Structure 1
Amino acid sequence: MDYPAITGWSREEREALVAAHRDSLAVLLRHSLSWVAAPYGEERLLEAFRFNTLDDAVDWCLTRFATGDLDPAKISPSSRSWRLFTEARFWLTQRESREGYTRKMQWLEAQRQRSNEASPTPLQEGAEQTQDVDVTRLMERLAHTLRKLLARTCPDLVGWWLRATEELRAEWFELPSLPPSQVPASKKTRSVRMHDAQFRFQCLHRALILDSSEAGLPHLAVREWLFQPCSNVPSYQRSEEDIAAALPPTAPRDRRSVQRLRREGLEVLLGRLLKTALAGPDSEQAVALMEWELLRRAVTKTTLTAFNLDEGAAPELRKKAEQLDTLAKALEVVR
């Protein structure tokens, strides 16, 4: 993934970067610190590096970047970008020095090994290790998609996805939570935004968004509408003027045509996700069930409402969403 370059390294420029993009940088830091902590436990890692909470660690890293003595010449060229905020080792080394980082990680590893001394039977161990690897890979894929969602939309949509999947993640594994900057009082509004975020996440997760200029006009329109950086305020969408400006010169650009094109593109994406979901989980393996549960929650009747496709506006999509509800009940998927 390409990260935005950090073009200014003076204290003033670094402070300005943090002030302008604090939420986005915090998301990257939270995930990177969580991955490092996963084998040892978040609380144990935070204690080892003298942090009280994950929020404390993130705040310290951002403050260190903004006000600390950082020499870009000592940072790898590939890390002189927002990628630096995905490199937990860099920040923990900043906290404790290189020697201190090595010593503390060795201690954490020794503690982990001691806690695993009561080993299961070889058969159980093999099955558990396979499942652990699969779940870890799923976590990595989800985190990768979250970074895409952040890069192609705005920080709040990442927060809404995390909020929507909070209960599932608490049962399956732990990913950091990031509350959206604006939480409306209306339950319906919260639900709509969570379903919007889940839908966009799944489109990116399943690589449905094409960057080729040869994509059809409906796809270009929906891509510019929902999958390009946007203002971090509801409804987290680009304007019709922005969409029209991105279309080829020969494309119709009047308001009605733009609305028609973006809706056609949206319905195609919803249809593809619903078709995949209606096929059911790929297998009975835990990870396949997890993936399917995340998908089916992204394409419900509320998702249609989020994009004004309810009230008979898209009867075929609504019918498929209802079929998916029935399938989920029949399968009795346990989160």
Structure 2
Amino acid sequence: MRAVVFERYGEPAEVREVPDPEPSEHGVVVRVEATGLCRSDWHGWMGHDPDIALPHVPGHELAGVVEAAGPRVTRWHPGDRVTVPFICACGSCPSCAAGDQQVCERQTQPGFTHWGSFAQYVALEHADVNLVAVPEELSFRTAAALGCRFATAFRAVVGQGRTAAGEWVAVHGCGGVGLSAVMIAAAAGARVVAVDVSPRALELARRFGAVECVDATRTEDTAEAVRELTGGGAHVSLDALGSPATCAASVNSLRRRGRHVQVGLLPSPGGTTPVPMARAIALELELLGSHGMAAHAYPPLLELVRSGALRPDLLVTSAIPLAASPAALAAMGTAPGSGVTVIEPWA
């Protein structure tokens, strides 16, 4: 098969021929019809993830068709249309038994713990626990956006953030996950303030439901701007980008007893990120992480998509072939972009 491969962190990847994967006993091989280009992939390429072993194929946000299934897979068969959370759970650890597959103690992640979906085929583990059926009316392009960014934003806004109608929600960073969060919060009846450096991203944020926008290139203190626009601060604030500056701004954006949700990965997982803890103590803030969404939690999200209440298809702003992927991956470091770019490996 053809796949995007890099052999050194931060150096150009290339498209080359590599061996086709084989399904494990509990796993499947999926023919990748579409896979999202995500900032998490850029972090992996830069060497920010300790699970990656070189040479490596990135990609974790995918949709496609089951090509082959292992002998102990019972729920899925060749020809099934599927997507998958970017956290693939083992299904048997205490966290999985509690229904918290997104923090599985023996999790695997395509594109991180093993070769991923910037390829024509990808192997996925524990298929009966992790695969999600893609309805016929949902395109593969749209379904590819669900596995990481949209599902992650859905759980961050609805589950971890506990967003309620009428509340103010601030979203710092309006790439794929941020715009997803804007759309989901607006659909929940919240009033959304979008913060970004890109006029195009802010334009899309308004299109997807933001009632206020803050251009970070024209505002010295974005947290103060959010507090002024919301009459004292947001009830919920998400760092959807993942940087020390946006993390601090998100916390500082909150009103008393507000809820910060950290969604964007920070550049140095082994390092430290300054957080304004004095404000967290004084205002009794909640500081929460959000790490994907378990496969069993997808039905309510899919029903909202099916009904038209949520439109993840509108987030897909471009589609590229596999050959264009290495350059697009590298460019995410300086221009994360707005919306979702989808790679189509068979194009």
TM-score calculated relative to the size of structure 1: 0.24
The structure richer in helix per residue is: 1
Higher Cα radius of gyration: 1
Which has the higher relative contact order, 1 or 2, with Cα contacts under 8 A spaced 6 or more apart?
A: 2
The structure richer in strand per residue is: 2
